[in-house]
Amino acid sequence: MTTTSHSSEVGLVTGVNKGIGREVVRRLADEGMTVYLGARDGEGGRRAAWKLGGEGAGVRFVQLDVTNEAHIDAAIKNIDEEFGWLDALVNNARIAIEWGDAMDQVTVEQVRRTYEVNVFGAVAVTRACIPLLRRSPVGRVVNLSSPLGSLSLMSDPEHPVSRLGMLAYSSPKSAHISVTPLYATALRESGILVNAVSPGHVATDLNGHRGHRTAEQGEATPVKLALLSADRPTGIFVESENGAVEELVPW
């Protein structure tokens, strides 16, 4: 059932057809927010938005490939013309293309493609949304991330993360994680909160459904961060295995 606590707010979630992104959209809409469902796959995105809308949610599809500047410009123009502001941006779009590959077999092209989506795409969308976020009483940016990008964990020979050796995924994730405190500091005076979150080991297409958590479990903390009040933290990286926003992940 839709609540009214965030009924005047507007959100944008990138990389949505199914999985965690779809659940984030559903939950934000349940909170009363009007949510733009951004998807590269037009048919899949429209189908997801239509289904969520049929359940009574305020969901609107917008064509959005985060590596396509024209898509980004059109999406932001659409939101600006229809509302004029944005309260929450969830950078959910991400890819992983090296599962099972030995690190010495990972190609430069695999690394480049992953950076294009996971880092450059997130930066491009965030940059485009900043003027709209500044018009919100409390703008929030949530970056979906992973402990696989934690330099602390990767440099600990006793930690499982250090033994995975996922060059094309972990390296861009480290870069993506670093974007969070940089934006948080730059946008603090504008009242915009910027945080990173790991949804936990969720079974999705991204990891070949190897995870032990469901998409419904994975969306809990990203949604909490997308609904933060002005007095809450900015520039943090949290884990959502138990849904606790305060559980920090080492950088």
**Residue 1: how many other CB atoms lie within 10 Å:** 4
Distance CA 53, CA 60 (A): 8
Q: Are 88 and 14 in contact (CB under 8 A)?
A: no
Which residue type sits at 235?
G
CA dihedral 243, 16, 132, 136 (to 10 degrees): -30
Please name the residue ranges forming H helices in 188-233. Answer: 215-218, 220-226
Q: Are 192 and 129 in contact (CB under 8 A)?
A: no
CA nearest neighbour of 20 among 145, 136, 183: 145
Q: Write down the catalytic residue from 36, 115, 169, 183.
A: 169
Using CB atoms within 10 A of its CB, is residue 183 exposed (0-12), middle (13-18) or buried (19+)?
buried
Please name the residue ranges forming H helices in 55-95. Answer: 69-82
**Helix/strand/coil for 12:** strand
Q: Give the angle subtended at the CA of 63 by the CAs of 182 and 170, to the nearest 5°.
A: 40
Residue 169 annotated to the active site? yes
- Hey, which residues are catalytic here? 169
